[in-house]
Amino acid sequence: MTPLGVAVVTTLEEHLAAAEPLLRQWGQAAVFGCIFAEGVGIPAPGQTLLVAAAVLAGRGEFALVPLLALAVVAAALGNALGWLIGRKGGRPLLQRFAHGERLARVERLFARWGPRVVALGRFVDGLRQINGLAAGALGMERAPFLVWNAIGALLWVGFWGLGAYGFGRDFNAIASAIHRIGPALGLLVLVGAALLLIYLLLAPRRKA
């Protein structure tokens, strides 16, 4: 197996090793609780548990549809409670979770992209935990927040849940595919990195 394949398998096994004790003891309730807590702003391994549980679902140890439905509800409710808390607490409360440059970056993101940050911010560690709080504290209205919050929950759970489920179900086939395309994929990454570096070097000159 190529280094890329080894990295993917290692990451998967790390997720499983970290989450399996909680999943064995509490089952899907652990997934719900951790995802919900993350949405409120409490650090918790919500994404790790979702990935691990979906992999186990691919191996037949959990039912997939109830797991995904539970995760979507937890993600949406957690962020909604975070929005409500942020709405009541305002900017002073937000400053307890983010300050300095981090707070300024969050404010710029919401000012520029608005509700889209609520949907796509779930995919960014750190922003996922304060998404709802920031939206409430920075004055986002309830109706657009709820719509984009639901969209974000569906996208996030669909991406991680279905992806991990497919990986767990078809592990051997995926590992074999990674083995075949690994060298080409590595070359593609190197070319992309080189192009990005060239762009970054030339961008200041164009502005000047």
Residue 147 has φ and ψ, to the nearest 5°, of -65, -55
In a domain? residue 201: no
The pLDDT of residue 80 is: 94
Residue 153 lies in a domain: yes
Task: Specify if 144 maps to a domain.
Answer: yes
Position 180 in a domain: no
- Residue 137 falls inside a structural domain: yes
Q: What is the pTM of this model?
A: 0.70
- Does residue 7 lie within any of the structural domains? yes
Residue 27 belongs to domain spanning: 3-169
Is residue 69 domain-resident?
A: yes
Domain total of the chain: 1
Tell me if 36 is assigned to some domain: yes
16-30 residue pLDDT tens: 777 778 888 888 899
Per-residue pLDDT, 4: 44
